[in-house]
């Protein structure tokens, strides 16, 4: 069994995986002010809450896009599991053939998502991660990571509207009943939810035009995938555990010698 942690700008997702079986998952708010000891307490409490014995953990792996928290999370995972985690980054074997201009610029989260998606879904494929930022990754029929797109997520978009315009309020991200909003709040919600759904559909159309063929799979993950993707017109798989499964696969490729069976 391994502990996998994926740290994003808004949430930290962690899970205990026993092979392909996920023993438990949890989502925590990303707090850059918390110390390693505070995160260790939270992680240990989650093991207790789900009645999972920490002594069963043979290893750990961490993916983080929050550089100022990476060391605190690494230390917390070591404290809880007594195993030094693998940190996804330069020098880690992933099996992904990265064809962008500078492979070193590719974020750990995009690498992890690509590893899981290429193992689980037919190619060519498009991966969307919908959260603070929306990211799109494109994998061709040969499994090569071609690149993608980065956009402001729904929450960032509506918060920017509220901050930049004096008459627009802060709103909750709920799906309105109609695309044509009849008041300010429903109109903003329509733009955030239906607008991002249309963006996802439209981007896939343009990817197919550039590839010169239909994609075999479109998969979405991230905290807002469950809100946006049901409004899309394309068939898109929502995979909430994509990142954890990708971390497990990368762990297996880089398993420490002492943890091998």
Q: What is the mean pLDDT of the chain?
A: 93
Q: What is the pLDDT of residue 172?
A: 83
pLDDT over 70 at 261, yes or no: no
Q: Which residues are catalytic?
A: 109
Distance CA 19, CA 261 (A): 13
Q: What is the pLDDT of residue 197?
A: 96
**pLDDT, tens digit (0-9, with 9 covering 90-100), for 205-260:** 999 999 999 999 999 999 899 999 999 999 999 999 999 999 999 999 998 766 55
**pLDDT, tens digit (0-9, with 9 covering 90-100), for 95-128:** 999 999 998 889 999 999 999 999 999 999 999 9
- Going by C-alpha positions, the residue among 140, 92, 159, 117 that lies closest to residue 246 is 117
Output the CA–CA distances (angstroms, integers) from residue 44 to 14, 24, 79, 115, 250, in the order listed: 12, 13, 9, 28, 24
Report field, pTM of the whole predicted structure over 0.85: yes
Could you tell me which residues come within 8 angstroms of residue 52 by beta carbon, excluding any fewer than 6 positions away?
1, 16, 23, 24
**pLDDT, tens digit (0-9, with 9 covering 90-100), for 61-101:** 999 999 999 999 999 999 999 999 999 988 899 999 999 99
Per-residue b/e over 165-180, b at no fewer than 16 CB within 10 Å? eeebeebebebbeeee
What secondary structure letter does DSSP report for 160?
Answer: H
* The 3-state secondary structure of the chain, one letter per residue: CEEEEEECCCEEEEEEEECCEEEEEEEEECCCCCCHHHHHHHHHHHHHHCCCCHHHCCEEEEEECCHHHHHHHHHHHHHHHCCCCEECCCCCCCCCEECCCCHHHCCHHHHHHHHHHHHHCCCCEEEEEECCEEEEEEECCCCEEEEEEEEECHHHHHHHHHHHCCCCCCCCCCCCCCCCCCCHHHHHHHHHHHHHHHHHHHHHHHHHHHHCCCCCEEEEECCCHHHHHHHCCCCCEECCCHHHHHHHHHHHHCCCHHHCC
What are the structural domains of the chain? 2-87 (3.30.420.40), 97-245 (3.30.420.40)
Question: What's the length of the chain?
Answer: 261
Q: What is the pLDDT of residue 165?
A: 83
């Amino acid at each position: 069994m391994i502990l996998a942690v994926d740290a994003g700008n808004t949430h930290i997702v962690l899970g205990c995986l026993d092979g392909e079986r996920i023993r438990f998952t949890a989502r925590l708010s990303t707090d850059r002010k918390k110390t390693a000891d505070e995160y260790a307490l939270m992680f240990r409490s989650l093991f207790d809450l789900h009645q999972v014995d920490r002594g069963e953990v043979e290893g750990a792996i961490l993916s983080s896009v929050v550089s100022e928290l990476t060391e605190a999370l690494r230390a917390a995972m070591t404290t809880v599991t007594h195993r030094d985690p693998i940190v996804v980054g330069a020098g880690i074997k992933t099996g992904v053939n990265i064809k962008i201009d500078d492979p070193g610029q590719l974020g750990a989260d995009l690498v992890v998502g690509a590893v899981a998606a290429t193992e689980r879904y037919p190619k060519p494929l498009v991966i969307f991660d919908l959260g603070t930022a929306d990211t799109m990754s494109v994998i061709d029929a040969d499994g090569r990571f071609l690149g993608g797109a980065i956009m402001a997520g729904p929450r960032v978009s509506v918060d920017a509207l509220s901050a930049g315009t004096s008459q627009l309020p802060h709103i909750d991200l709920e799906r309105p009943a109609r695309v044509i909003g009849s008041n300010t709040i429903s109109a903003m919600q329509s733009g955030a939810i239906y607008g991002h759904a249309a963006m996802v559909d439209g981007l896939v159309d343009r990817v197919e035009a550039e590839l010169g063929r239909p994609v075999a799979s479109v998969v979405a993950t991230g905290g807002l995938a469950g809100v946006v993707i049901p409004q899309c017109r394309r068939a898109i798989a929502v995979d909430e555990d994509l990142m954890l499964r990708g971390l497990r696969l990368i762990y297996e490729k880089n398993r420490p010698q002492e943890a091998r069976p």
